[in-house]
Structure 1
Amino acid sequence: MSNGMTACGGAFRYEFLMQVRRRSLWISLLLVELLQFLIYVRLPHLYDFLHIYFQMPINQTMAQLALMVNTLLPAAFGCLIADRLPRDRRTRVEELFMATLQPSGSRLIGKYFGSVCATLIPIILFLLLGTGFVLYRTGDIACIPLALTAFVIIILPGILFISAFSLACPTIMWVPLYQFCFVGYWFWGNFLGPAHGIPTLTDTILTPSGKFMATGIFGLDSKHTGIVASPTQGWESLSLLVGLAVLVLCVLWLVQRWQQARQ
């Protein structure tokens, strides 16, 4: 048990520091957020939209803010996670870890949470900036704890979900190919409605953008999310996303054990 905790903690620290020091992490997420900001600025009647959002109950305002943060940034997030395991193989760090005879499952958990926590830092900063703007416009200090709640309930489940797949899929796919497919999936599975005539996950509880949690749990009006969801469906979506993330990590662990046994 102690050996497993040591392996998990060591992998977490290594992965966190490696990821948070990457210039591409900060540059990519900053450029994506700048692009999103420019898109919103060019919207017609922007002031009217903002006025509507600030007139909503504060919990719904923060849910809308979380959805805005969750629009484009997760697409870049998944791409930034995708190279973590291939990079370890390329730099032979994986062989070094294997030579220590530490539990592979503990290393995988540490790597997963280390890379996720590091990549989340810019997203959390963007959320805090938005929260500061909401506080400035509304003067309602309740937006601060609600920002944390919205992050945990709306943003984090989808992030855990896409991170698990972004860590696992590149073990059998070329990383650039996965990144290309993942960006396409993000828009297909979250924003491409059935009205386009293409089957999509957009209106199902499997969509990771957080729309079901925002509508079902935070009570955001369906006209802002495009879906109608009950509180039960909101919690079902959250549970399904997190549960699938755990399942994917378990499968990845089994695949790694199989690969190690063949070596």
Structure 2
Amino acid sequence: MQVRRPAVWLVVVALIALRCSAPLPVNIGSITDHATLVSDWAGDFMELGPIGVGAVLADRVRREARLDLDDLLAATPSGIGPRLWGKAVGAGGATITPFALCWAALLGYLSTKHGAGVIPVGVEVFAAVILPGLVFVTAFSLTVPFLTGAALFRLGLFGYWIWGNMVGPDYGIPTPAGTPFEAIGEYPTGAWFHGFMFDARERGWNATTADAVISIAFLLLTALAALATTQFVLTRRSPS
């Protein structure tokens, strides 16, 4: 049902379109190297797109309660764990669908300009640069709202995403932006696809394969930890 919600499509697509209407770097259209071209477009997708994914997922928990589905789900043979992880895969995958289709449309367009070689590169970039960040956002969007509610989580997600991924070290504010612990995928971009690394460059760091692996592993392991911790807490609270 999540994929049928108009808000899922409107919010995610609108934020991607807003950022890609003025891409960085500004001369991205003159880039001819397929890896650099596609990875820099991925950076534009990741600047605002994940905020949309998190925003529309945040009300999933409270929405089920409003629809009186909690008791119905509790009466099924499946436990809290399968329901939580199933929700992460199902609702998360449905919410990522507009993101993936926008990416596919971009690859189709780029292939008409630069040849079909951009398509396999685009699949690799999606897996290494885009997907880990979306998994990270999905996991926290389905867990933190149990504690904060949807509205406060959305505000916190917006603040975190801007601070942790787009406010570089030159601002003088402590931030993970430009380190392997940011969620925007800058290190896989620089290490594997010759893309621009704006914040890491401000720190004087050059991405290596080890940095890229650390960045991806951090996002995926943190997402798993958020889901596992929520499952543990909900199981302890369950009267059964």
Distance 1:240 1:205 in 2: 8
Deviating beyond 4 angstroms after TM superposition, the runs of 4 or more aligned structure 1 residues are: none
1:33 and 1:72 in contact (8 A); partners too: yes
CA RMSD of aligned residues (A): 1.9
Structure 1 residue 221 displacement after superposition: 4.3
Matched, 1:30 2:13: yes
Q: Could you tell me which of 187, 203, 207 is aligned with 2:178?
A: 203
1:39 Cα deviation from its structure 2 partner: 3.4
1:250 equivalent to 2:228? Answer yes
Q: Return the match for 1:73 from 40, 49, 59.
A: 49
SS of the aligned residue for 2:174 comes to coil
Question: Structure 2 CA distance, aligned partners of 1:171 and 1:224?
Answer: 33
Partner of 2:137: 162
Task: Give the direction of change, closer, same or farther, for the CA distance of 1:147–1:49 in structure 2 (3 Å limit).
Answer: closer
Structure 1 gaps, min length 5: 1-17
CA contact (8 A) 2:38 2:121 kept: yes
**Corresponding position: 1:50 with 2:36:** no
**Structure 2 unaligned regions, length at least 5:** none
Q: Does 1:39 align with 2:14?
A: no
**Alpha carbons of structure 1 residues 231 and 60: separation in structure 2 relative to 1, 3 Å:** same
Between the aligned partners of 2:193 and 2:22, the Cα distance in structure 1 is: 26
Alignment partner, residue 229 of structure 1 = 207
**Does 2:15 match 1:19?**
no
Secondary structure of 1:207 counterpart: coil
Give the drift of 1:225. Answer: 6.6
Q: TM-score, normalised by structure 1?
A: 0.84
Name the counterpart of 2:99.
123
Match of 1:104 among 76, 80, 88: 80
The offset of 1:60, in angstroms, is: 2.1
TM score, norm. by length of structure 2: 0.92
3-state SS, counterpart of residue 142 of structure 2: helix
- Percentage of identical aligned residues: 28
Q: CA-to-partner distance for each residue in 1:147-204, whole Å, 9 max, x for gaps?
A: 1111111001111111111111111102111101111111111010111111111022
